Amino acid sequence: MRIIGHFIDGVETSGESQQFQDVFNPATGDVQAQVALASAADLDAAVASAAAAQPKWAATNPQRRARVFFNFVALINRDMDELAILLSSEHGKTVDDAKGDILRGLEVAEFVAGAPHLLKGEFTEGAGPGIDMYSMRQPVGIGAGITPFNFPAMIPLWMLSPAIAAGNAFILKPSERDPSVPVRLAQLALEAGLPKGILNVVHGGKSVVDGILDHDDIAAVSFVGSTPIARYVYGTAAANGKRVQAFGGAKNHMIIMPDADIEKAADALMGAGFGSAGERCMAVSVAVPVGEATADRIVAALKPRIEKLKVGPATDKASEMGPVITKAAKERILGLVEKGVEQGATLAVDGRGFSLQGYEDGYFVGPTLFDNVTAEMDIYREEIFGPVLSVVRSKTYEEALKLTMDNPYGNGTAIFTQNGDAARDFAARVNVGMVGINVPVPVPLAYHSFGGWKASAFGDLNQHGTDSIKFWTRTKTVTSRWPSGIKDGAEFQMPTMK
């Protein structure tokens, strides 16, 4: 049985605890490996390695740190196919989708190759009599990232890249459900020239998370996962004096206006709703057509597309959607579908009975479409995180906008329209962090920031973009005056610039 170890001080190790957890192939339900689970001693070893390596790394000039990322990007591109197949085998998403996962993370690694510019401070000459002032951005020390199963390459790269480029050491705690790619990324970073100890990977569940949140030597924590855990991580880390950003769940709405191109809107909903089996925090799970005629048209356009959707294992190049991550996830999704039927939604396409010959024990859920969903139903209120799309009909644009704004989540949203006034009004008024105009999944590129509002995010600074550099650094401001500008005698009043 293949063992997936921790990566501590430049070496893969099964650790001190000698406890392991099965890693499944979601397409077959078979155990394909075991992942080591960290003890408190294993986490301490990772932090000690980081603490020993970080001062020298911080003292390395930013341009030389950036060169490591140029090498890192090249190595990830070199091994793209290997990484994508490995990712697919543990997550279940198609190989092409896995490559997209890696590439969106790679873009952030490319972005932080510009760290020398991003880390520049500010300078004011002659701020007062003989006084100059300047600011510096300095690393926080040791950072940690706690990442989810749904993007085992992208989200770790979003966190570790700016943290390390800014001069920090980093502890990565990835999901134990698909842990191989994060370890492989750490190995590639070492090959790229990153000193050992700067990037460590430890696996485990709540005890490891709590260990990170409580550890005195970890200065900052970034988290992505469900909203209840995001609240917990934010509250605990902040109470322990750490800088923290915690990103939670989502219920992303896409409004379809009467003037929208229905065929394009339907295609957009297919990819945004069923790509990666709906296991994306930016998946569109709620379609909000404006007007009965628009609703009838969008449902009619979606049904044949959904019925023809090719569901299969990642090893089948024709597959458009794979299985969900675990048996428990499958059971939860199917339970919510049952709730939707019980509560009166119209089941327009039923994915409950899906079975794939030769993969009967896999965690497949057929793509499902509900119509006539209301805001009181469980399938609307809960984040399903599966291949289930709900249609909530609205009479007017204002009603559709209010539905989106009243939802407790505020991660992403979109509007499909050919009316510039409607699009501009929507972007200006909606209380959601990321907005798409005729773009169903508006994940910003690496040089802009990613982050939601309301119950989708806790903390003041977002991921990637310039926000990430601010998060992983502290500002130090220096006021300097040389002897020629200093008057004789003590000054007891508050200093001013008079």
Query: Which strands make up the sheet holding 131-139, listed edge to edge?
Result: 123-128, 131-139, 473-481
Beta strands (DSSP E) in 113-251 are 123-128, 131-139, 142-146, 169-173, 199-201, 220-224, 243-247
- How far apart are the C-alpha atoms of 14 and 38, rounded to whole Å? 8
Rounded to the nearest 5 degrees, what angle is found at the Cα of 88, between the Cα atoms of 322 and 248? 80
Show the tokens assigned to 132. Answer: 């100059």
Enumerate residues 6+ apart whose C-beta is below 8 A from 252.
272, 282, 283, 284, 285, 286, 409, 411, 412, 413, 414
Q: At what angle do helices 227-239 and 206-214 cross, to 10 degrees?
A: 30
Gap between the terminal Cα atoms of the chain = 74
- How far apart are the C-alpha atoms of 151 and 134, rounded to whole Å? 39
Sign of CA dihedral 273, 279, 283, 286: positive
DSSP states of 269-297: HHHHHHGGGG--TT-EEEEEEBSHHHHHH
Catalytic residue from among 112, 246, 281, 295:
281
- How far apart are the C-alpha atoms of 405 and 399, rounded to whole Å? 10
- How far apart are the C-alpha atoms of 17 and 39, rounded to whole Å? 5
Show the tokens assigned to 102. Answer: 């890696």
Element containing residue 102 per DSSP (H, E) = helix 95-111
Q: Which of 287, 271, 262 is nearest to 345 (CA)?
A: 287
Query: Active site includes 281?
Result: yes
- 433 with 456: CB under 8 angstroms? yes
- Catalytic residue IDs: 281
